[in-house]
Amino acid sequence: MYKLSMRVTWVKNYNFDLCVYLSELQYFKSNNIRMKFQVNEKGYYGDFGGAWIPEMMYTNIEELKRRYLEIIESVEFKNEFEQLLKDYVGRPSPLYFAARLSEHYGSKIFLKREDLNHTGSHKLNNTIGQILLAQKLGKTRIIAETGAGQHGVATATVCALKGIKCVVYMGALDVSRQAPNVKKMKMLGADVVPVHSGNKTLKDATNEAMRDWINNPEDTHYIIGSVVGPHPYPDMVARFQSVISAEMKKQLRAQTGNELPTRILACVGGGSNAAGAFYHFLDDEKVELIGVEAAGKGVDTGETAATLTVGTPGVLHASKTMLMQNSDGQITEPYSISAGLDYPGIGPLHAHLHKTGRAKYLAATDEEVLKSVLLLTQKEGIIPALESAHALAALDKIKMNPDDVNVINLSGSGNKDMETYLNYFGY
């Protein structure tokens, strides 16, 4: 655009200085519009992000930063990625018009069925992308952290698919409350390492995985499970998950005649399913974006994981973001009934979307979430994951008009949560 305006300037013999100035303004403007919600070359989303890594992790991160875009933008990578998404994951996932739920709320509600993916959640979109990347980087060993066990299963699955050694770090408390997923990972051939430090949950597992990576920089790739951690992970994971919103656009156009919905709702732990569901709508500012965090027992009770509601800026897991901490900068232990949202931080993209007001963030309590689980189960015959039900619970907190098109990203299936459901509902 810059060059073009200059040429036009000469031909038409306008005031040269003024036109260059205007075209520069326009250049920055168009650049800003495109880049406003994307990571910059330094790895920042506005004030958040970056790579706040110890010296010893520099080599690992530099290699990834230097090569990730060239690899994932290559035709060869794209072909392999898309083929596996289609034939192995089972994409595209349906966009389902939930008629009885819509009737209940008096507004049109669509569900993006990530629960129907192989392994039961959106997590496989990312691990497929990262295992292909690891292979292109020549890595022969994979490490991962996991909370609910869903990311661990998704990682162990792609390692089995490609015949690559896999070590999964998991908080000891999560190991005990997610036994079926632990057994699945082992059956898939992964080593599951219980982590006994801290709260024995996801944060502690992540610390342990980072320690492992520092000690094994040559042969190991670390598959992070959400849009968190040092640059380039938040951007890389968001790109892999963005297939969700790319499909949504096409499906909405086919089903409603308009590729833009009124609003999109997604639950937010680290924020990867929400990032994927928002991605291709970020610049369409008419589309309302709503992230839903885990309020736990209530945002004022101290037993919560609602990072954006109670958090303040700080650095966690090598990224500057919003996090739950006390006045000394000590991390506050998060709480949620759903292990997948039990994280004291949030991806830097969401901290930025929150700060700029591009997305709105609500919080749903355990009790509200369990009510929504039962509602979806009995209105639509779909048992959602506890995490995904946070997005559903937000429908009770917003104003909707009858003609609104609401899309809920149904991030995962309730299979892994059956024990919790049976205990709570008493069937």
Which residues would be at the binding site for ligand PLP (CB under 6 A)? Answer: 121, 123, 148, 150-151, 226, 267-273, 340-341, 385, 387-388, 411-412
DSSP assigned state of 86: I
Minimum Å gap between C-beta 28 and ligand PLP is 33
Of 107, 242, 319, 411, which residue is the catalytic one? 411
Minimum Å gap between C-beta 142 and ligand PLP is 18
Nearer Cβ to ligand PLP, position 95 or 214?
A: 95
Pairwise CA distance, residues 74 & 71, whole Å:
5
Whether the CB-CB separation of 342 and 269 falls below 8 Å is answered with: yes
Q: Where in 115-190 does DSSP place strands (E)?
A: 141-146, 165-171
Whether the CB-CB separation of 146 and 169 falls below 8 Å is answered with: yes
Nearer Cβ to ligand PLP, position 127 or 411?
A: 411
Spell 20-48 as b/e; 16+ CB within 10 A means b: eeebeeeeeeeeeeeeebebeeebbbbeb
Angle formed by the axes of helices 16-35 and 2-12, nearest 10° = 160
Minimum Å gap between C-beta 414 and ligand PLP is 9
Minimum Å gap between C-beta 77 and ligand PLP is 22
Whether the CB-CB separation of 150 and 119 falls below 8 Å is answered with: yes
Minimum Å gap between C-beta 307 and ligand PLP is 11
Pairwise CA distance, residues 307 & 309, whole Å:
6
User: Is 102 annotated in the active site?
Assistant: no
Q: Which residue is nearest to ligand PLP (CB)?
A: 412
User: Is 145 annotated in the active site?
Assistant: yes
Pairwise CA distance, residues 210 & 231, whole Å:
14
Closest CA to 402 of 110, 97, 107: 107
Pairwise CA distance, residues 52 & 65, whole Å:
13
User: Is 411 annotated in the active site?
Assistant: yes
Backbone phi, psi, residue 44, to 5°: -110, 145
Nearer Cβ to ligand PLP, position 43 or 270?
A: 270
Of 123, 203, 320, 416, which residue is the catalytic one? 123
Nearer Cβ to ligand PLP, position 108 or 345?
A: 345
Q: How many angstroms from the chain centroid is the CA of residue 253?
A: 24
Nearer Cβ to ligand PLP, position 108 or 184?
A: 184
Of 145, 208, 247, 380, which residue is the catalytic one? 145
Pairwise CA distance, residues 313 & 7, whole Å:
46
Minimum Å gap between C-beta 27 and ligand PLP is 35
Nearer Cβ to ligand PLP, position 43 or 269?
A: 269
Whether the CB-CB separation of 170 and 193 falls below 8 Å is answered with: yes
Residues forming the active site = 123, 145, 411
